[in-house]
Amino acid sequence: MTLKTLTVLALACLTLSACGGVDPKSPLGQRKSIFKQMLHTSEDMNGMLLGRLPFDGPQFAASAVKLDQLAQQPWQHFPKVREEDHTSAKPEVWEKQARFQQLAQNLEASTAELVTATRVQPLKADGLDGPMQKVEGACKACHREFRDH
Ligand code: HEC
């Protein structure tokens, strides 16, 4: 392989998600991107509650709204038929649709509760742990049943 082909390959990789060959515009690419944004948003929020980042009330409240919006979005990007490659979604997502939808709704309910909890002014970190843990629990519950690691 020449240096030039290597460079071309490297550049192609940059445009594909993590060089995994996933088209970012495909349903898989879109839902992965939304899931990643959910992770980044919740990581910063957890960081504030655990003292890794300074607590910033308005920023935390804005992130809660963002997380709540993101929580509505991945589900529409699960197509009728499971992709063959690059997905870590278990076949159960398609076989147990009702259960999957239920866990998706649990997440949406928990992020809505988190938004409500952030409407207190001035917002303090105390009391946000519980609602945040409920959100995390909703992520984990679904991953345990429906995601391959
Ligand atoms: C109702 C089920 C469900 C809930 C709730 C859920 N996830 Fe997931 N998540 C999945 C499935 C299924 C996949 C695998 C997607 C794929 O590869 O097709 C996934 C994948 C991911 C990934 C990997 C994305 C990638 O790049 O491959 C991250 C990160 C993630 N989820 C974060 C979260 C976070 C954070 C939450 C909660 C705020 C959450 N998820 C809630 C089902 C869920």
Give the tens place of pLDDT for each residue, 1-45: 566 655 555 555 555 545 568 999 999 999 999 999 999 999 999
Query: Residue 115, Cα to own-chain centre: how many angstroms?
Result: 17
Q: What distance separates the 2 farthest-apart alpha carbons in the chain?
A: 62
CA distance 88 to 98: 19
The pLDDT assigned to 19 comes to 54
- The residues near 94 (Cβ < 8 Å, ≥ 6 apart) are 78, 81, 82
- The token duo for 8 is 């071309």
The pLDDT assigned to 60 comes to 98
The pLDDT assigned to 113 comes to 98
Q: What is the pLDDT of residues 80-104, one digit of tens each?
A: 999 999 999 999 999 999 999 999 9
Ligand 1 centroid, distance to 104 Cα (angstroms): 10
Is 106:141 a contact under the CB 8 Å cutoff?
Answer: yes
Mean pLDDT of the 46-70 span:
97
The pLDDT assigned to 2 comes to 62
CB of 146 closer than 6 angstroms to any ligand 1 atom: yes
Pocket test for ligand 1, best of 106, 147, 148, 149 (most atoms within 8 A of CB): 147
